[in-house]
Amino acid sequence: MDDPYELLSEDAEYLNAHHPGAWRKIAEGAGKFGLIVEHFPLPNGYVEPEATLMLLVPSGYPGVPIDMFYLQPPIHRRDGSAIPALAEETHFGTAWQRWSRHYGWQPGEDSVATHIEYVGNQLRAELGR
């Protein structure tokens, strides 16, 4: 039987190369699964040096976009400045800090790998605002 939560081979290769042994998939109901990346390094400027990153991967991925990203535990800027567009959501029995960040997903070009790169860019951009 096929895995209904299969990643693209390029995604698995990216995750194995950049986060070896630190990622896993988790299901939540029909049509949605999470991709968990443990020990995700945070840029210098946050209180926490790392967090667990979670992406909600929708049914129909990669033709359907991944949107936003989630961190656990909640992270904070070292300078105490507030981070905009955050909320708390519970998924997979865990409270996550949701970062409401959006961009124009391009099917055939964007993937888990490009979304994780986007997460890193957003974390760095937040420190520069």
Q: What is the mean pLDDT of the chain?
A: 92
Give the tens place of pLDDT for each residue, 5-42.
678 999 999 999 999 999 999 986 666 799 999 999 99
CA distance 84 to 87: 9
Alpha helices in the chain, H assignment, sequence order: 9-18, 112-128
Q: How does pLDDT run across 41-71, given as a tens digit for each residue?
A: 999 999 999 999 999 998 889 999 999 999 9
**Predicted local confidence at residue 1, as pLDDT:** 33
User: Does 95 have pLDDT greater than 60?
Assistant: yes
Q: What is the pTM of this model?
A: 0.93
